[in-house]
Amino acid sequence: MLPAFLVPDTKVRESGVSSPLDLSAPRFQAIFLTLGITHILEQQSLDVSVYGSVDGGHWDSRPLLSFSQKFYCGTYQMLLDLDTRPEIRFLRAQWRVKRWGRGDLQPMFGFYLHAEDARARIAAPRVMTRTA
């Protein structure tokens, strides 16, 4: 059910996978994804991808969507279009973390991944202001 977090705001030190997110009802054709990186150390990278499944048990070998590799705090957004994959009923996130350089080589990231129905985002009222 959307809106929902694929990954709630959390701190990670190793690569991992989220719990599955059930999309079965209602049917979503386009999903707006927001990746927020809230904490990061220098000389490290974060790769986040979203995978799909028909049954929540068997996952596609290739991601439906991948964010470009991230090195800095910030908010990054992408649109996941499921029009060509109507059989997808579950999503899950997978992330890989990497650290290089001197000192402690264990990475540490704070991040979240939020999903919402793109139609709701487009239909949201906009406040227009006029400046002279």
Residue-wise pLDDT for 47-100, tens only, equals 999 999 999 999 999 999 999 999 999 999 999 999 889 999 999 999 999 999
Task: For residue 108, give the nearest of 65, 48, 46, 61 by alpha carbon.
Answer: 46
Q: Range of 27's domain? A: 4-123
Helix spans in 4-130 (H):
118-123
List the CATH number of the domain containing 40. 2.60.120.1110
Helices (DSSP H) in 12-126: which residue ranges? 118-123
Number of structural domains in the chain? 1
85: in domain = yes
pTM of the model: 0.87
Question: For position 99, what pLDDT does the model report?
Answer: 93
Give residue 105's pLDDT.
85
61: tokens are 């070998």
How far out from the chain centre does Cα 44 lie?
A: 19
